[in-house]
């Protein structure tokens, strides 16, 4: 699950670069994808860390 959260982090960073940097015409779509994928990343990170006990 943590790999999936890292995937969403990468997607959010790419969409932030494209959307906030003005590299694409429809920047508002990239901003929406950024916020959605960033929130999914945070949720998956919290649940992944809470459900997976650390190995000793």
Ordered by start, the domain boundaries in the chain are 2-51
- pLDDT tens string for the chain (56 positions)? 667 777 877 887 887 777 666 666 666 777 777 788 888 888 887 887 777 666 76
CA distances from 54 to 2, 3, 46, 51 (A): 13, 16, 14, 10
CA distance 42 to 31: 17
What's the pTM? 0.56
CA-wise closest residue to 16 among 29, 36, 30: 30
């Amino acid at each position: 699950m943590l790999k999936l959260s890292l995937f969403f982090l990468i997607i959010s960073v790419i969409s932030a670069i494209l959307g906030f940097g003005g590299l694409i015409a429809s920047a508002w779509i990239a901003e929406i994808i950024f916020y959605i994928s960033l929130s999914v990343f945070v949720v998956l990170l919290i649940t992944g860390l809470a459900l997976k006990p650390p190995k000793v």
